[in-house]
């Protein structure tokens, strides 16, 4: 049993994989957090909850000065009666009061993992998962709160979400509704988050938690490259391969907030959920509201341990597409090869070269529709541009298919250009606030997906695109963030819902489109990796990692992205040198090694490559086909951190443990440098491994503990791949 309830002490003990999570109902009313960490057989309460009188803390019970909600470690803390830390939720009643008093009502244990209405969510059937539903009630407000904990038997994962139900006869305004809150009775942590920008996504930021709060958020309407919806607490001294990690990742693509708050008594409040700023929700009598879910992951094997859990979990319990389990095709994308400037002839020439190199999927990026010759127009006009494609998309697709390649197409369905037939017909479709001027991003406006009519239009438009031609792949782009957020169709008291309604609208469309077309491989994109989150991965099994394809930058971006997401989820392409983003000149071999460490493709004009380059590309494609199964389904280890030095390295071990691939990168060449070594991980100590190139055989223990010498090479941006077979 993954969920145990001990009646005498009112303790819930959740066991997931190798971890335990314990809670207790205190004084018949309050839900306290007891423990989250390494698995223990049975939680008896040796570390009792000692409360003592602390001056200036408030007491909910008059006769007992020792008991205070301000110092009690809690699971879902409320506002207004003595807990002065960040509350997990806040409800405003019709009288304007924000005070809540929840009291425990009971619990239920269900087999399996329930879905969340209208939201992406992890899945698992019995016996993979079991769900605890704890019922709390605020009698005065007439509010029921259900805390959901889904425990995955074989994984160190608990998925948490919350449901609010208005059982009163009055309206309730939900002002804050975190998906997860817990209080750890320790505070000596580092906090790890990922920050960045366009072309510079996901840089790790590790800082000590001192007094007060470390908080990250997005108010951009999307999860954003500025801050990933992820936060981890790291025990001091935690490294890649050792130490304890307590991580939270949000299965949501909109505004979010995550925080770690250290109080004055050595406790840490850890929270994640939708951003409360401009994020209210009006709950009518009888209505319910579900928060998106948070995945809680525990590791006692450092950051690599955390990543292994996330990677396996995302592949097996989050990505819904049948492609989640299938090998992904090697693609050529037309964007950096041609941008907006192409003809059918040019595309076919590119496809021809790609086919010769063994590439499997041709993707026509932006510029194929309306009169789109630059970014100023046509978003919304999803029909072929007959000047560029006089015979239409269908004819192009047929030619590509007859070459023996798959055909893919770029779309940006959430947007509208002012210069478009769609805008001329439906200017009201724009997300905007009446009487205010528009704010532009990439010269475009956002469709108001908080409106069902607009969602219907987008779904219909995309169904038409998919019927234009035989389409095997869709790249779903989103190139600006939300501004002027408001709705002429909602009453003033519902204006705070528009951000979330936008995301729900997007999910409504994706739910239907991806279910109607399971045969289509979807890749999400937002000016590169600007909406790389677990919510999007639920619908679309891969995400374009960054517009920055410079291999030196990509080493860091892919390294840090792998903290949460498996390499198969990261689109990674070889592009031209000098790089279009940085101007850097780099070897084709290194561009290949970086891109083939993820979901591999190309994005350059192959018709301009030399014979030598084309040969090398064919060789890369051939090699990737050989290693694809291991890269896309194997276990991934980060070996050397590019954010800490001049080198980076990572390794893949195939599911059956037979194949080992280590990639190593040196940024700048150092003259007369020491000989460097690389130590592998994840091998069988007792087994022997043969170097695929040299035939030499070594023990797994030797490769891991003594390591491999790296032959010195001249020149900057060098890299190598070491491949071993277990013999």
Among all residues, which ones are annotated catalytic?
477, 547
Sheet of strand 3-6: strand arrangement:
3-6, 11-16, 19-26, 30-38
The owner of tokens 């990737």 is 624
Which of these ranges, 42-50, 524-532, 611-619, 670-678, lies near ligand DGJ under the rule CB under 6 A?
524-532
Q: Out of 3, 214, 405, 525, which residue is the one contacting ligand DGJ (CB under 6 A)?
A: 525
The tokens for 684 are: 């069988």
Which of these ranges, 261-269, 390-398, 461-469, 525-533, lies near ligand DGJ under the rule CB under 6 A?
525-533
Counting contacts by CB under 6 A, is residue 505 touching ligand DGJ? no
Position closest to ligand DGJ via CB = 366
Binding positions for ligand DGJ, 359-378, rule CB under 6 A = 365-366
Which of these ranges, 145-153, 425-433, 520-528, 681-689, lies near ligand DGJ under the rule CB under 6 A?
520-528
Which of these ranges, 41-49, 70-78, 142-150, 521-529, lies near ligand DGJ under the rule CB under 6 A?
521-529
Question: By C-beta, is 85 or 475 nearer to ligand DGJ?
Answer: 475
Minimum gap (Å) between residue 326 Cβ and ligand DGJ: 23
Q: Out of 107, 123, 335, 476, which residue is the one contacting ligand DGJ (CB under 6 A)?
A: 335
d(CA 712, CA 565): 32
Q: Are 675 and 712 in contact (CB under 8 A)?
A: yes
Number of residues that bind ligand DGJ (CB under 6 A): 11
Binding positions for ligand DGJ, 442-481, rule CB under 6 A = 477, 479
The tokens for 87 are: 């509350």
Minimum gap (Å) between residue 442 Cβ and ligand DGJ: 8
Counting contacts by CB under 6 A, is residue 544 touching ligand DGJ? yes
Number of Cβ atoms within 10 Å of the Cβ of 165: 18
d(CA 512, CA 508): 7
With residue 601 as reference, give the H or E element that holds it: strand 599-603
- Of the candidates 477, 341, 455, which has an alpha carbon nearest to the alpha carbon of residue 408? 477
Minimum gap (Å) between residue 520 Cβ and ligand DGJ: 17
Which of these ranges, 254-262, 278-286, 418-426, 523-531, lies near ligand DGJ under the rule CB under 6 A?
523-531
Instruction: Indicate if the alpha-carbon torsion angle 430, 433, 434, 435 is positive or negative.
Output: negative
- Of the candidates 469, 475, 479, which has an alpha carbon nearest to the alpha carbon of residue 416? 479
Counting contacts by CB under 6 A, is residue 263 touching ligand DGJ? no
- Count of residues in the chain: 727
Q: Are 229 and 258 in contact (CB under 8 A)?
A: yes
Minimum gap (Å) between residue 524 Cβ and ligand DGJ: 10
Counting contacts by CB under 6 A, is residue 659 touching ligand DGJ? no
Angle, CA 144 vertex, CA 146 and CA 16 arms, to 5°: 10
Burial letters for 42-81: b for 16+ Cβ neighbours within 10 Å, e otherwise?
ebeeeeeeebeeeeebebbeeeeeebbbbbbbbbbbbbee
Question: By C-beta, is 214 or 506 nearer to ligand DGJ?
Answer: 506
Question: By C-beta, is 33 or 220 nearer to ligand DGJ?
Answer: 220
Instruction: Give, rounded to a whole angstrom, the gap between the first and last alpha carbons of the chain.
Output: 39
- Of the candidates 406, 261, 258, which has an alpha carbon nearest to the alpha carbon of residue 330? 406
Minimum gap (Å) between residue 411 Cβ and ligand DGJ: 10
Counting contacts by CB under 6 A, is residue 528 touching ligand DGJ? yes
* Residue 462 CA from chain centroid, whole number: 24
Counting contacts by CB under 6 A, is residue 224 touching ligand DGJ? no
Minimum gap (Å) between residue 603 Cβ and ligand DGJ: 8
CA distances for 312 relative to 317, 557, 635, 662, angstroms: 8, 20, 8, 20
Q: Out of 59, 527, 577, 590, which residue is the one contacting ligand DGJ (CB under 6 A)?
A: 527
Parallel, antiparallel, or unpaired for β 245-250 and 11-16? unpaired
Question: By C-beta, is 580 or 625 nearer to ligand DGJ?
Answer: 580
Counting contacts by CB under 6 A, is residue 410 touching ligand DGJ? yes
**711 exposure class (CB count in 10 Å sphere: 0-12, 13-18, 19+):** exposed
Residues that bind ligand DGJ in the complex, under the rule CB under 6 A? 335, 365-366, 410, 477, 479, 525, 527-528, 544, 547
């Amino acid at each position: 049993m993954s969920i145990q309830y001990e009646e005498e002490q009112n303790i819930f003990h959740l066991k997931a994989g190798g971890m335990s999570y314990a809670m207790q109902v205190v004084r018949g009313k309050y839900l306290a957090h007891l423990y989250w960490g390494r698995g223990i057989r049975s939680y008896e309460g040796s570390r009792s909850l000692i409360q003592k009188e602390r001056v200036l803390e408030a007491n909910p019970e008059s006769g007992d000065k020792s008991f205070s909600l301000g110092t009690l470690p809690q699971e879902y803390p409320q506002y207004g009666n003595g807990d002065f830390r960040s509350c997990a939720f806040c409800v405003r009643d019709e009288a304007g009061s924000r005070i809540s008093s929840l009291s425990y009502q009971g619990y239920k244990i269900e087999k399996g993992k329930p879905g969340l209405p209208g939201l992406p969510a992890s899945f698992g059937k019995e016996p993979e998962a079991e769900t605890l539903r704890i019922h709390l009630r605020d009698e005065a407000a007439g509010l029921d709160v259900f805390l959901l904990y889904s425990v995955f038997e074989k994984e160190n994962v608990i998925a948490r979400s919350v449901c609010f139900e208005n059982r009163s006869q009055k309206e309730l305004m939900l002002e804050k509704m975190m998906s997860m809150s817990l209080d750890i009775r320790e505070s000596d942590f580092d906090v790890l988050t990922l920050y960045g920008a366009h072309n510079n996504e996901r840089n790790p930021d590790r800082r000590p938690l001192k007094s007060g709060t470390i908080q990250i958020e997005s108010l951009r309407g999307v999860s954003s490259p500025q801050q990933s919806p992820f936060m981890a607490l790291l025990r001091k001294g935690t490294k890649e391969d050792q130490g304890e990690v307590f991580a939270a990742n949000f299965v949501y693509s909109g505004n979010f907030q995550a925080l770690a708050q250290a109080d004055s008594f050595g406790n840490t409040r850890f929270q994640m959920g939708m951003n409360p700023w401009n994020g209210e929700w009006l709950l009518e009598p009888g209505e319910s509201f579900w928060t998106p879910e948070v995945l809680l992951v525990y590791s006692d094997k450092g950051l690599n341990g955390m990543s292994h859990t996330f990677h396996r979990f995302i592949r097996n319990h989050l990505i819904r597409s049948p492609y989640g389990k299938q090998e992904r095709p090697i693609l050529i994308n037309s964007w950096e090869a041609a941008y907006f400037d192409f003809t059918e002839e040019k595309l076919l020439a590119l496809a021809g070269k790609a086919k010769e190199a063994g590439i499997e999927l041709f993707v026509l990026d932006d510029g194929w529709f309306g009169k789109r010759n630059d970014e100023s127009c046509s978003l919304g006009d999803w029909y072929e541009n007959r000047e560029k494609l006089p015979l239409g998309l269908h004819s192009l697709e047929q030619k590509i298919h007859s070459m023996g390649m798959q055909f893919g197409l770029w779309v940006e369905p959430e947007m509208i250009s002012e210069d478009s037939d769609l805008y001329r017909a439906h200017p009201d479709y724009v997300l905007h606030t009446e009487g205010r001027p528009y704010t532009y991003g990439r010269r475009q406006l956002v469709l108001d997906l908080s409106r069902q009519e607009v969602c219907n239009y987008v779904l219909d438009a995309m169904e038409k695109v998919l019927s234009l031609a035989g389409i095997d792949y869709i790249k779903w782009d989103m190139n600006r963030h939300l501004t002027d957020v408001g709705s002429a169709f909602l009453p003033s008291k519902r204006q705070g819902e528009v951000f979330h309604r936008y995301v729900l609208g997007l999910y409504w469309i994706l739910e239907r489109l991806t279910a109607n077309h399971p045969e289509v491989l979807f890749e999400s994109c937002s000016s590169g990796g600007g909406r790389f989150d677990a919510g999007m991965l639920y619908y679309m099994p891969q995400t374009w990692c960054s517009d920055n394809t410079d291999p030196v930058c990509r080493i860091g971006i892919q390294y840090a992205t792998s903290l949460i997401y498996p390499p198969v989820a990261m689109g990674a392409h070889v592009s031209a040198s000098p790089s279009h983003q940085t101007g850097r000149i780099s070897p084709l071999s290194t561009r290949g090694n970086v891109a083939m460490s993820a979901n591999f493709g190309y994005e350059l004009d192959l018709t301009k490559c030399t014979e030598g380059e084309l040969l090398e590309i064919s060789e890369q494609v051939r090699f990737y086909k050989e290693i694809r199964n291991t890269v896309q389904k194997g276990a991934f280890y980060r070996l050397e951190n590019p954010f800490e030095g001049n080198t980076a390295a990572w390794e893949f071990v195939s599911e059956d443990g037979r194949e080992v691939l280590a990639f190593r990168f040196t940024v700048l060449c150092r003259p007369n440098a020491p000989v460097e070594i690389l130590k592998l991980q994840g091998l069988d100590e007792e087994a022997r491994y043969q170097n695929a190139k040299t035939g030499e055989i070594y023990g797994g223990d030797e490769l891991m503990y003594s390591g491999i010498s790296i032959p010195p090479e001249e020149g900057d941006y060098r890299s190598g791949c070491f491949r071993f077979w277990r013999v």
